Amino acid sequence: MDKSALNLIILDRDGVINYDSDQFIKNPEEWKPIPGSLEAISRLNQAGYRVVVSTNQSGVGRGLFDMATLNLIHDKMHKSCALVGARIDAIFFCPHAADADCDCRKPKTGMMEEIAARYGLGSLKGVPAVGDSLRDLQSASAMGAKPYLVLTGKGSKTRAAGGMPEGTRVLADLAAVVAELI
């Protein structure tokens, strides 16, 4: 692991931190944390980790909600974290619809490249990256990050479908990932 990356962890949002929805999380009221996830982020903070979120938010590109609403959802997430002593250092997101052919939408690596650049890392080698979908794992693995699949959100379906990158760790939820890391 790159020594400068020892204190960074990358989390997907929907299905890892909060409950996911096939109809998208379209407003702050629909954003509900998965039990134990915010406390897990607090444990990461206490262990010296910088917690960043990398999330596809195609609902913006599809016109289901606007950037102001996405900001309100993220504000609720930040405030909910603060209530349990947790902190998310940065949120990286792709607002484009799946057909936009952008470089930032996972499984492409644009967001991961941006995270590496923001934190001055030559590589994300060994950085834990937690997701519930194959595209989360593929994006992480392509950048050398250590993929973790959680079985919350779409995780159980992702595991059943197979085809995960080599070395993917499969754990019940974010709290279980954090317990393994620290």
**What are the per-10-residue average pLDDT scores of the chain (182 residues)?**
65 98 95 98 97 97 96 98 98 94 96 96 94 98 97 98 97 98 96
Active-site entry in 2, 14, 75, 99: 14
SS3 of residue 93 by DSSP: strand
The dotted CATH code for 3-181 is: 3.40.50.1000
Query: For residue 99, what are the contacts with CB-CB under 8 A and spacing of at least 6?
Result: none
Active-site entry in 12, 20, 132, 173: 12
* Lookup: tokens for 62: 């599809």
Whether 173 is catalytic: no
Q: At what angle do helices 37-46 and 174-181 cross, to 10 degrees?
A: 20
pLDDT (0 to 100) of residue 122? 86
Whether 20 is catalytic: no
The domains of the chain are located at: 3-181
Neighbouring C-beta atoms of residue 60, cutoff 10 Å: 19
* CA distance linking residue 116 with residue 165, whole number of Å: 20
Query: Is 148 within 8 Å of 171 (Cβ atoms)?
Result: yes
pLDDT (0 to 100) of residue 5? 46
